[in-house]
Amino acid sequence: MEPIYLDHNATTPLAAEVSKAISDALDLWGNPSSLYEKGKMAKNAISKAREQIASMINSHPSEIVFCSGGTEANNNVIWSVLESFDKWKESTGDKHILAHVITTSVEHVAVERPLKYWQDKGRLEVTFVPVDPSTGAVTVDAIMHAFRPTTVLISIIMANNETGVIMPILEIGRALDKYRQERKSSSRLPLFFHTDAAQGIGKIKVDVKELNVDFLVIVGHKFYGPRIGALYVRSLDNDVEYYPMLFGGGQERGYRSGTENTPMIVGLGQAAEIVIKNLAADQNHFRLCRDELECCLEKLFGDSILFNLRVGNRLPNTSSVCISRDGIYNGHELLSRCPFVCASTGSACHSGSKPSAVLIASGLSEEKARSTLRLTVGRSTRLEDVRKAAEAIKKAYDSMTCS
């Protein structure tokens, strides 16, 4: 049987228009920093892509910095905040103050691990705020309760990659206004708001002006683009101080050195253009397919199925499903028995035999976390596909109960 792909939160295939844009841009081989015509052509193509990405999130093109992907962007935000804090600390003469960061207990490892690394190095202190186990989302009150006089960064994932739960970024941004105004009128201690929007873009509306964020991470391969990324930095050069992590030729106005990958940047711009035009239609399609998938699973499994965190605000394409009855059935083994269903048990960045830390932090028991599947639909998913996938999962489950 032809494979049915239900792992779109892990990665998406290149859209046909994106693939063509990349292919055409291979002819733009001139160095964008060069002054002759070939270089100018490449530079103009990059400028157009920057405009497309800015339009997708309602920012100014000058606020977009291209980079290799989400991991680099997230790490660079944390590094930049530390540099800003050290600069402020030097002005005070107090060398013993530590920067404080607020984040959640369900962040992607590209945020969690660098924060823990710098905490272990004694550069900062981190408060990992737990989510509400009934919804899987952090509350605004919990974030604000963790706030300290030394808090310099609030980093909240826009939508969790495993559960699909959408975080209250808009509400947190509004709540931070009070603290931002106080900082501006007194200590001048920097205060930044960062969100990893990898799972949000292409699935829900993302408007940086509404969200009131300082940093927003964009990951191409999550919305049918190439495996590069971009970082939004609010009012770059004027408002938010941003310090590079990579030094070299001074590309991207010195914020991210390295000769630009013109074809991939062009592809990222084209992927953004598709999101601008098709977001509403895509959302409706995702929701239709996901709801049909869940309906089929409910009919087939009855009481043996539990949909994790379905009561809260979640991505339209994502279903986190726990399948268990008389015993506990390992999600990896279940998927191995229906190999033509391409799905996962959690994040592709830390897959393995251990239960998902994100699911446990979201309130699931270890047993339920082990038997959870992450099923995520996409643009090419058909209703027929999700029906077949549900039947295949049930058949695999039955084979496990009989063995």
Pairing, β 151-155 against β 341-342? unpaired
Distance CA 400, CA 398 (A): 5
Distance CA 300, CA 397 (A): 11
To the query of whether residue 349 is one of the catalytic residues in this protein, the response is yes
Task: Name the residue among 182, 98, 184, 193 with its Cα closest to residue 143.
Answer: 193
Name the β-bridge partners of 192: 153
Residue 242 per-residue DSSP state:
-
Burial of 288 per CB tally in 10 Å (0-12, 13-18, 19+) = middle
- Residue 395: count other Cβ atoms within 10 Å of its Cβ: 12
Burial of 179 per CB tally in 10 Å (0-12, 13-18, 19+) = middle
- The phi-psi region of residue 329 (left if phi > 0; otherwise alpha if psi is between -120 and 50; otherwise beta) is beta
Which residue among the candidates 289, 322, 342, 349 is catalytic per the annotation? 349
Distance CA 294, CA 289 (A): 9
Task: Name the residue among 375, 264, 252, 379 with its Cα closest to residue 310.
Answer: 375
Which residues does 148 contact at the CB level (< 8 Å), separation at least 6?
100
Cα dist from 401 to 35, 41, 50, 205, 327, whole Å = 68, 61, 53, 42, 9
Q: How many residues does the chain have?
A: 403
Amino acid at 218: I
So which residues are the catalytic ones?
Answer: 349
